[in-house]
Amino acid sequence: MELLLVGIGTGNPEHLTLQAIRALNSADLVLIPEKGADKADLADLRRTICEEVLTNPATRLAGFPMPVRDPATPDYLARVNDWHDAIASRWAAAIDAHPDAKRVALLVWGDPALYDSTLRIAERLARSRPIEVTVIPGLMSPQVLTAAHGIPLNLLGAPFLVTTGRRLRDEGWPDGVDTLVVMLDGEASFTNLQPDGVSIWWGAYVGMSNQIIDHGPLAEAGPRILATRAAARAAHGWIMDIYLLRRKPNSHSESAP
């Protein structure tokens, strides 16, 4: 069996490459993860993308229930590994329900290579059955964020770092870089930084029809973003956001006491 991991960008059907469209149309089965009523929009977006690009009448869609992380497991990595095991089991059950499917596709937000665990889950699935994994790259959310704001990702000749909200919150601003791209931040961890000399470019639902963006000095834009973020989460029941932080070279932004 071949497993196609198809990067789909950030929810806009126009983000799909021609390679992605061809791959989806070559699939016998497209699996759609379902995360409950409060995140039904995510499954609906995947289905909408398929409706727009699928021209092969033989390609079927099949939903499957996504497990949730067990909050009772105190260790973060153990909690995530248990969750990935559970997802692999759900994939296996969904695939086994369609034994004639020789090519199965999964739509992956952004790109499977960046802060996404689809490839690690595919490794688990490969332990129980012979599969060939094919990755179709997609637009990454940092690209879509910087395009929405019309800014370069890096300063001239300078590096940047992509990190998570948890690491920013726990470890502060890393040494040696003045530009951070922060993903997977459920707690607006930029509030833990001293804002002096720091600017933020923030976006939620980037690339989608309901995209929201804001930017400015962190001291001024931060409170606006917090309010906008809370309102968007209340309106939609979920939020996907990302932001870029940039400080003036040689400034020192430490974690707030």
Give yes or no for residue 256 having a pLDDT over 50: no
pLDDT value at position 255? 44
Per DSSP, the three-state class of 134 is strand
Is residue 214 domain-shared with residue 157, that is, in the same domain?
yes
Is residue 169 domain-shared with residue 111, that is, in the same domain?
no
Average pLDDT score, the chain: 91
pLDDT value at position 212? 97
Q: What percent of the chain has pLDDT over 70?
A: 95
Residue 218 is given by DSSP the state H
From 20-29, 69-78, 223-232, the region with the lowest mean pLDDT: 69-78
Q: What is the dihedral of CA 137, 142, 145, 147, to 10 degrees?
A: -70
**Domain at 131, CATH number:** 3.40.1010.10
Give yes or no for residue 41 having a pLDDT over 80: no
2-7 and 103-108 beta bridge pairing: parallel
Collect all residues with Cβ–Cβ distance below 8 Å to 40 and sequence separation of at least 6.
Answer: 34
**For residue 97, what are its two tokens?**
């329900």
Last residue of a domain, one of 120, 139, 158: 139
Q: What is the pLDDT of residues 7-22, one digit of tens each?
A: 999 878 899 999 999 9
pLDDT value at position 251? 56
Give yes or no for residue 239 having a pLDDT over 60: yes
Give yes or no for residue 143 having a pLDDT over 70: yes
pLDDT value at position 50? 94
Report the C-alpha gap between 169 and 227 in whole angstroms: 19
Instruction: Tell me if 27 is assigned to some domain.
Output: yes
pTM of the model: 0.85
pLDDT value at position 254? 45
Sheet holding 132-136, edge to edge: 60-65, 29-34, 103-108, 2-7, 132-136
Cβ–Cβ under 8 Å, residues 69 and 80: yes
Residue 39's pLDDT band (cuts 50, 70, 90) = low
**For residue 56, what are its two tokens?**
């092969």
Is residue 84 domain-shared with residue 192, that is, in the same domain?
no
Instruction: Tell me if 54 is assigned to some domain.
Output: yes
pLDDT value at position 237? 85
Cβ–Cβ under 8 Å, residues 55 and 25: yes
pLDDT value at position 257? 38
* CA neighbor of 122 nearest in space, from 107, 113, 114, 132: 132
pLDDT value at position 181? 98
Give yes or no for residue 253 having a pLDDT over 70: no
Collect all residues with Cβ–Cβ distance below 8 Å to 14 and sequence separation of at least 6.
Answer: none
Give yes or no for residue 43 having a pLDDT over 90: no
Give yes or no for residue 238 having a pLDDT over 90: no
Instruction: Tell me if 61 is assigned to some domain.
Output: yes
What CA–CA distances, in Å, run from 251 to 48, 75, 129, 176, 246? Answer: 46, 34, 53, 11, 10
pLDDT value at position 252? 53
Q: What's the rounded mean pLDDT across residues 64-76?
A: 83
The H-assigned helical ranges of the chain are 18-26, 40-53, 76-96, 118-126, 141-149, 165-171, 218-236
Beta strands (DSSP E) in 114-211 are 132-136, 161-164, 179-183, 198-204
Instruction: Tell me if 21 is assigned to some domain.
Output: yes
**For residue 216, what are its two tokens?**
């400015």
Give yes or no for residue 117 having a pLDDT over 70: yes
Q: What's the rounded mean pLDDT across residues 134-162?
A: 95
Is residue 210 domain-shared with residue 102, that is, in the same domain?
no
Is residue 36 domain-shared with residue 117, that is, in the same domain?
yes
CB hemisphere CA count around 207 (13 angstroms): 25
Per DSSP, the three-state class of 192 is helix
Instruction: Tell me if 254 is assigned to some domain.
Output: no
Is residue 122 domain-shared with residue 167, that is, in the same domain?
no
Is residue 176 domain-shared with residue 53, that is, in the same domain?
no
